[in-house]
């Protein structure tokens, strides 16, 4: 009875350890700036064109897209991390930027962009915010006594019905030295408080509020497609099971998705081999037959994916999302099947 009770507790622990959402897991390959960047709110440097331009902001507490969007790019060099954000604003005539004192909550009273950075990818994060006047708020977690040498500048374009904002955040204040392939947690959020609009949105979907580092997106510095493939387990820290979505410049994603698909299918095949080994060890014919049946069904299902990857073509964002979601589901199912088989073997010896 003690053994069964312990197994029940273990089962409960495994279930509660898993993430409870299927939000997209966003990955942003961040290129090194090809020239100097001046945070003046204009985004005029040619280097910005090397960085993927992304959008798709959702409500902070639900996955629906907002009708008024923001777009952004990210760059880095040895000294700083740079964010350039373009905010669409159909009510631009009502935007009246007001400068505020550093770290006063009034920074959040109008149009504001919030940047969250988790430099060591360990949920110890920093918050940076600036309004449409370029007034800055920064904190280490909720500690507003902490200050960085961050600079921010905004520019309002009434004719284009948008306003832009640039951040330059020193790496030394984040406590790390940037290296190629490093993973940095981050999120970009918007507070749109203009006219009758009261909208709080995030790029990486969070739960409850913006301070949710477990669900931040992943910034990968100077990443190659091969590095991205090896980092897939890092992106899924916290037992996250949503689709991995890589945002990139034209031509980069296909190679990245193909490398990641190969790696995922290799790991899945290793699990299938483990299950086959357990099936062979079963003394009970019915248990062995059931495991063999599951194995065959899994192998039949992944065969088209394996063929698609072997051909080395057609692995774009849509194809990758389909493979990634199903392989992740199969991986969990296989893990459960392996656990059940081992449990059955253990109980048969009690």
Work out the burial of residue 286: count CB atoms within 10 Å of its CB; fewer than 13 is exposed, 13-18 middle, 19 or more buried.
Answer: exposed
Mean pLDDT of 117-122: 95
The pLDDT value given to residue 180: 93
Range of the domain at 195: 20-248
pLDDT band at 77 (very low <50, low <70, confident <90, very high): very high
202 in any annotated domain: yes
13 in any annotated domain: no
Mean pLDDT of 97-105: 95
Mean pLDDT of 287-299: 85
8 in any annotated domain: no
Mean pLDDT, the chain, integer: 85
74 - beta bridge partners? 83
| Each residue's pLDDT tens digit, 297-307 | 888 988 888 88
Domain boundary among 180, 213, 248: 248
Whether 14 shows a pLDDT value over 60: the answer reads: no
One domain, residues 128 and 260:
no
pTM, two decimals, is 0.76
The pLDDT value given to residue 5: 31
| Each residue's pLDDT tens digit, 151-166 | 999 999 999 999 999 9
2 in any annotated domain: no
Mean pLDDT of 110-117: 97
The pLDDT value given to residue 318: 59
Mean pLDDT of 12-38: 76
One domain, residues 194 and 343:
no
Domain count for the chain: 2
Domain boundary among 221, 248, 275: 248
Q: Which residues, 6+ apart, have CB-to-CB distance to 147 below 8 Å?
A: 102, 103, 138
Share of the chain above pLDDT 90, in %: 52
148 in any annotated domain: yes
| Each residue's pLDDT tens digit, 103-113 | 999 999 999 99
126 in any annotated domain: yes
Whether 35 shows a pLDDT value over 90: the answer reads: yes
CB 65 within 8 A of CB 141: no
One domain, residues 45 and 87:
yes
Give the CATH number, domain containing residue 65. Answer: 2.60.40.1190
One domain, residues 179 and 39:
yes
Domain boundary among 203, 218, 248: 248
One domain, residues 219 and 273:
no
Mean pLDDT of 258-270: 81
Whether 240 shows a pLDDT value over 80: the answer reads: yes
Mean pLDDT of 254-271: 78
One domain, residues 64 and 142:
yes
| Each residue's pLDDT tens digit, 48-66 | 999 988 888 999 988 898 9
4 in any annotated domain: no
Q: Please give the angle made by the CA atoms of 260, 206 and 111, to the nearest 5 degrees.
A: 120
One domain, residues 270 and 239:
no
One domain, residues 216 and 302:
no
One domain, residues 136 and 171:
yes
Residue 56 CA to residue 71 CA, distance in Å, equals 8
The pLDDT value given to residue 11: 34
Q: Phi and psi (nearest 5°) for 29?
A: -70, 115
One domain, residues 88 and 153:
yes
Residue 258 CA to residue 106 CA, distance in Å, equals 47
One domain, residues 198 and 300:
no
The pLDDT value given to residue 20: 67
What are the Cα distances from residue 39, in Å, to 42, 168, 325? 8, 6, 39
Whether 10 shows a pLDDT value over 50: the answer reads: no
One domain, residues 260 and 172:
no
Q: What is the 3-state secondary structure (H, E, C) of the chain?
A: CHHHHHHHHHHHHHHHHCCCCCCCEEEEEECECCCCCCCCCCCCCHHHHHCCCECCCEECCCCCECCCCEEEEEEECCCEEEEEEEEECCCHHHCCCCCCCCCCHHHHCCCEEEEEEECCCCCCCEEEEEECCCCEEEEECCECCCCCCCEEEEEEECCCCEEEEEEEEEHHHHCCCCCCCCEEEEEEEEEEEECCEEEEEECCCCCCCCCCHHHCEEEEECCCHHHHHHCHHHHCCCCCCCCEEECCCCCHHHHHHHHHHHHHHHHHHHHHHHHHHHHHHCCCHHHHHHHHHHHHHHHHHHHHHHHHHHHCCCCCHHHHHHHHHHHHHHHHHHHHHHHHHHHHHHHHCC
Share of the chain above pLDDT 70, in %: 85
Per-range mean pLDDT, top range of 6-20, 224-238, 330-344:
224-238
pLDDT band at 346 (very low <50, low <70, confident <90, very high): low
Residue 166 CA to residue 74 CA, distance in Å, equals 10
165 in any annotated domain: yes
Per-range mean pLDDT, top range of 30-34, 262-266, 313-317:
30-34
């Amino acid at each position: 009875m003690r053994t069964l009770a312990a197994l029940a507790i273990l089962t409960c622990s495994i279930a509660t350890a898993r993430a409870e959402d299927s939000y997209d897991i966003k990955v942003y390959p961040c290129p090194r700036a090809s020239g100097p960047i001046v945070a003046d709110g204009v985004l005029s440097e040619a280097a910005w064109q090397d960085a993927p331009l992304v959008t798709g902001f959702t409500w902070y507490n639900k996955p629906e897209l907002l009708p008024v969007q923001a777009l952004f790019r990210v760059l880095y060099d040895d000294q700083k991390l740079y964010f350039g954000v373009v905010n669409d604003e159909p009510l631009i005539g009502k935007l009246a930027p007001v400068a505020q004192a550093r770290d006063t909550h009034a920074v959040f009273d109008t149009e504001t962009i919030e940047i969250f950075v988790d430099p060591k990818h360990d949920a110890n994060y920093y918050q940076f915010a600036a309004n449409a006047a370029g007034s800055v708020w920064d904190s280490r977690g909720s500690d507003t006594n902490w200050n960085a040498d961050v600079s921010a500048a905004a520019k309002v374009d009434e004719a284009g019905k948008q306003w832009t904002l640039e951040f330059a955040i020193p790496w030394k204040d984040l406590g790390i030295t940037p290296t190629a392939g490093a993973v940095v947690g981050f999120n970009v959020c918007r507070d749109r408080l203009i006219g009758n609009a009261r909208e709080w949105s995030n790029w990486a979907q969070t739960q409850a509020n913006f301070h949710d580092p477990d669900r931040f997106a992943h910034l990968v510095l100077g990443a190659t497609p091969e590095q991205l493939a090896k980092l897939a387990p890092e992106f899924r820290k916290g037992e996250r099971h949503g689709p991995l979505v890589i945002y990139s410049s034209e031509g980069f994603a296909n190679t990245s998705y193909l490398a990641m698909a190969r790696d995922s299918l290799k790991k899945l095949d290793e699990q299938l081999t483990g299950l086959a080994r357990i099936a062979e060890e079963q003394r009970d014919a019915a248990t062995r037959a059931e495991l063999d049946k599951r194995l065959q069904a899994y192998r039949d299902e992944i065969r088209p994916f394996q063929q698609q990857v072997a051909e080395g073509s057609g692995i774009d964002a849509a194809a990758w999302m389909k493979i990634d979601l199903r392989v992740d589901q199969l991986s969990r199912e296989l893990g459960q099947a392996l656990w059940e088989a081992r449990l059955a073997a253990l109980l048969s010896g009690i």
